[in-house]
Structure 1
């Protein structure tokens, strides 16, 4: 039995649906862009007068939303949340489902080690994450270029997709780590998603109150600020923090899944 192929087949429909969701978000989001370009100065003035708390909740940063690049930066926040939710749920479910669906005994009696099982499952999850990221990249470039009017946006979008991929990996391994440690396989995805939403709420709180700036180091949604990423690319510290968390959660996944008593 090839576990990798089995998982790829099992998640084929899911990745198609998530890709369609990305298409809808990008197409519908950029479709609203024309309403921001009619009176450029007045729209920027309106956004400038908007309360800081409301701008933080809505995801409005200091981007110029009258340009295709700036407007996509606003839209990217929501794409990032979608991609992170997909990764967190995938990481949790791909390990927990064997116990949840009562198929763990069938899998574990095969002549394959738990290390190999986890590796095959995570490899399949990684491919799914790559596919969703690649689809989002292609769709973003294709759709945003229709509104760019000469702007060079491909490079900026590519950098944002690199940031998204790192965040996807972070939540993928967070989800798998929770599934490996948790005693209730049915709750793993919910816990992983709750942690994701909590970190996003923290990022909003940081935007609302400068006194909470120290919290930006515990929320991945502040590691790759859109405007800073546009201007300076990926920050080495943010990449290093992300890779450290990924490495820790990958280690947790292998260690705890290898020792746990599986419910059959």
Structure 2
């Protein structure tokens, strides 16, 4: 069987589960919008919360009584779930052959390791794209169901586009670590740890502007939610930086995978 199709089939059930979970996350999150948009007492209580607590919860300075502000808050959790999926997918799609003792299946085929990595990367890319589309459609449909103000479909599209780039960064990180580290359990644990550290950094820099220099270490902070809510789109410089990082991580994956000894 073609390696690309084999990987699509192997990840099909997991993709369905992640897609259902993403839809439920968006649906349940949007179901809470009416609480913030219609209850003055709750809003007053919320506004009196310390800024540090609101920042940690992802509310920051957003006006959650508006649909765009509320979606920006919900998007934090949508992006986190998508990033976890991406980094786990990147790590597992490389490491699973040795973990599942199916390495011999690959090395007996008349294909190079470069072709193997390319096929796996393309299969992972399709998985991420599908989850991205599910996130986009779920968000547009659920926002439209609760939105009584101006249409924010354009802002939602830009949010999801920024998420796609972040997903690619974490996918390439997961693949790189799996190609570099021979033990699948170790590479998977380190991949998730990198993501969690990145997320923690994003929360720390939300608390104080004096540590904004650390944002370079967290893809979660590459694209400003405030700019996306304001309709300013993606920062072109950050977009280029992201593409460069994805390229470096991907090239390194090819390099280390070609050099490593595969356990049969």
TM over 0.5: yes
What is the aligned partner in structure 2 of residue 116 from structure 1?
A: 115
What is the aligned partner in structure 2 of residue 178 from structure 1?
A: 177
1:91–1:125: 8 Å Cα contact kept in structure 2? yes
What is the aligned partner in structure 2 of residue 50 from structure 1?
A: 49
What is the aligned partner in structure 1 of residue 101 from structure 2?
A: 102
What is the aligned partner in structure 2 of residue 17 from structure 1?
A: 17
Q: CA deviation at 1:43?
A: 4.9
1:139-158 Cα distance to aligned partner (Å, 9 max, x none): 11011101111421110100
Distance 2:147 2:92 in 1: 39
1:165-203 Cα distance to aligned partner (Å, 9 max, x none): 000000000000000100212222221111001000001
Distance 2:146 2:200 in 1: 31
SS where residue 149 of structure 1 aligns?
coil
What is the aligned partner in structure 2 of residue 259 from structure 1?
A: 259
Q: CA deviation at 1:225?
A: 2.2
Q: CA deviation at 1:245?
A: 1.1
SS where residue 257 of structure 2 aligns?
helix
What is the aligned partner in structure 2 of residue 243 from structure 1?
A: 243
What is the aligned partner in structure 2 of residue 219 from structure 1?
A: 218
Q: CA deviation at 1:44?
A: 4.8
Q: What is the TM-score with the length of structure 2 in the denominator?
A: 0.96
Give the 4+ runs in structure 1 shifted more than 6 A: none
What is the aligned partner in structure 2 of residue 187 from structure 1?
A: 186
- Which residues of structure 2 form unaligned runs of 5+? none
SS where residue 14 of structure 2 aligns?
helix
**Which deviates more, 31-40 or 118-127?**
31-40
1:98-126 Cα distance to aligned partner (Å, 9 max, x none): 01111112211110100000000000000
1:46-74 Cα distance to aligned partner (Å, 9 max, x none): 44432222112111121111122211111
**1:29-68 mapped onto 2 (5 Å cutoff):** 29-39=29-39, 43-68=42-67
Distance 2:196 2:138 in 1: 25
SS where residue 38 of structure 2 aligns?
coil
Q: What is the TM-score with the length of structure 1 in the denominator?
A: 0.96
2:176–2:252: 8 Å Cα contact kept in structure 1? yes
- Which residues of structure 1 form unaligned runs of 5+? none
Distance 1:21 1:89 in 2: 16
Q: CA deviation at 1:230?
A: 2.1
Distance 1:167 1:182 in 2: 22
What is the aligned partner in structure 2 of residue 164 from structure 1?
A: 163
What is the aligned partner in structure 1 of residue 199 from structure 2?
A: 200
